[in-house]
Chain A
Amino acid sequence: MPTITFFEADGTKHIVDVENGISVMESAVRNDVPGIDGDCGGSCACATCHVYVDPAWIEKTGRAEASMEKSLLDFAEDVRENSRLGCQIAVTDDLDGLILELPVAQY
């Protein structure tokens, strides 16, 4: 099972073993990682699973490409170059060790 590290905005670290095939958002929600919401349940319809992908990992995950993800990120707070919607990143063995930072608040 791949491992993902989530850093809350205040630096609190959560190391989580996650299943392949589910999204990064689901992984966080199922493991009670605070700071990521996923209000729409992963339908790419809100922006409350906003995450920052660690620069070392951005090539593996890719940047936001699809138009709906980009539109929604457009309305999120404090969006950066490495912003993604967590529900649009599927966990694979390739992402074992992935590091993500969470924003101050979801909106």
Chain B
Amino acid sequence: MTTEMLLADEVSAIPLGDLDVSEPALFQRDVIDAYFARLRKEDPVHYCPDSAYGPYWSVTKYKDIMHVETSHQIYSSEAGLGGVVIDSEIIQGAEGDLELPMFIAMDPPKHDDQRKAVSPIVAPGNLALLEGTIRERAGRILDSLPVGEEFNWVDRVSIELTTQMLATLFDFPFEERRKLTRWSDVTTAVPGFGIIDSLEQRKQELLECAACFRGLWDQRTKQEPKADLISMMAHSPATQNMSPNEFLGNIMLLIVGGNDTTRNSISGGVVALNQNPDQYEKLLANPALVTSMVPEIIRWQTPLTHMRRTALDDADLGGKKIKKGDKVVMWYLSGNRDEEAIDRPNEFIIDRERPRQHLSFGFGIHRCVGNRLAEMQLRVLWEEILKRFQKVEIVGEPQRVHSNFIRGFTSLPVRLHA
């Protein structure tokens, strides 16, 4: 029996009513799409009455996800109702008694005011100002890598580059840049899983983070405006009068938003190309394909598997009756494999016709505000990789993150070929 046949048996053996796709191990084993495929076919809007996170609805088809995304008046992102992740504890961890208001977990009108204040900062016009520095830093990391020797791409490139990019974006003290990664990990951490031991510890670390950013804010306000996110926020009329809590909440959102996601897209691109050598050949023959490859990597990897909403009212969805208060999970990872919406969705195709038509950034009023920034970073990175290395070859088993939210890698053993 092939692995596929065994997996098909595993999935079909479970009664439909018992199917629970929230189990992190399914994602770590990377078998989750066999489960999603069954739901897309047999029960696209699927109620799971009991899970580690309580009862919840799974939305598995692209068009139904799009419907939820564009119906924000029914499907709320409000932190007070549990936020935007299936595990309601995470937003408690992020916001909790520290009061870090993040507009990702707000509804209009408050959401709109906050988003409008921040979004010009990461808009394409400003990105152009940042591209040069990002390219320089990507180049320097790549130049420091050993050729012909095995190393962990996740640590030396994905995490390192993402951290440096965050430091660049904020013009954060370069030698202390790993604090950004730490604070980001801490923001969404739940005690007892290796990141923090207690909520008190989390609070202390985030107070330190607040003080640090407050210092940078004060410094930048006094200086001439320049091209970094803190200076931009300190000088823009829309943001310069933000309360300290709002400022910190927005900073944390920008950091968290650009942390794991970018990291895992960087790793994901290497995995995708290695698993599809014909596409790697195509890329080497025509480096201009980086532009269409980048969104395809983001679709293929789907760095955040889902986003969650809470129903503010009873509603109809895909033939089912959602009740007020129900938890509704939009599985982007499933929608991105929906063949009714995407042509040959399981294939990694670097020159797809409409590569940006995917769910990884979400849609609607909460669509990822950093989406063009993310694409720019990946594009610049791949341009620099292609200038230097004939191949980034995976030489060992990739290890995946144990999570039903973050889809990524903890380890990726590679060898570079000049």
Contacts and interface: CB of A to CB of B under 8 A. Distances in A.
Interface of A: 29, 37-41, 43-46, 48, 68, 71-72, 74-75, 77, 104-107
Contact of B115 (A29, A75, A77, A104): A75
Given A46-B367, A74-B116, A68 B124 contact: no
B66 interface: yes
B390 interface: no
B123 A71 contact: no
Contact of A104 (B70, B108, B124, B364): B124
B394 to A, nearest CB: 30
Given A71-B108, A72-B365, A77 B125 contact: yes
21 contacts: A37-B356, A38-B354, A39-B357, A40-B66, A41-B354, A43-B363, A44-B70, A45-B69, A45-B364, A46-B363, A48-B356, A71-B112, A72-B364, A74-B112, A74-B116, A75-B115, A75-B116, A77-B123, A105-B125, A106-B124, A107-B124
Contacts of A39: 356-357, 363
Interface string B345-357: 0000000001011
A45 B371 CA distance: 14
B375 to A, nearest CB: 11
A45 B363 CA distance: 5
A106 B125 CA distance: 10
A68 B108 CA distance: 12
B324 interface: no
Interface string B321-364: 00000000000000000000000000000000010110000011
Contact of B365 (A41, A43, A75): A75
Interface in B104-152: 108, 112, 115-116, 119-120, 123-125
A61 B222 CA distance: 47
A29 B367 CA distance: 21
Interface of B: 66, 69-70, 108, 112, 115-116, 119-120, 123-125, 354, 356-357, 363-365, 367, 372
Given A45-B364, A107-B372, A40 B125 contact: no
A48 B120 CA distance: 15
Contact of B66 (A29, A45, A72, A106): A45
Given A75-B112, A77-B124, A105-B372, 7 more contacts: A45-B66, A75-B116, A75-B119, A77-B125, A104-B125, A105-B124, A106-B124
B70 A43 contact: yes
Given A77-B120, A77-B123, A107-B372, A68 B70 contact: yes
B116 A41 contact: no
B7 to A, nearest CB: 31
Contacts of A107: 119, 123-124, 372
A80 B123 CA distance: 17
B367 A45 contact: yes
Nearest to B62: A41
A94 B124 CA distance: 34
B356 to A, nearest CB: 4
Scoring B108, B119, B354, B356 by chain A CB atoms within 10 A of each residue's CB, the highest score goes to: B356
Nearest to B71: A68
Q: Which 3 A-B pairs have the closest CB atoms?
A: A105-B124, A45-B363, A39-B356
Contacts of B115: 75
A68 B72 CA distance: 10
Nearest to A77: B123
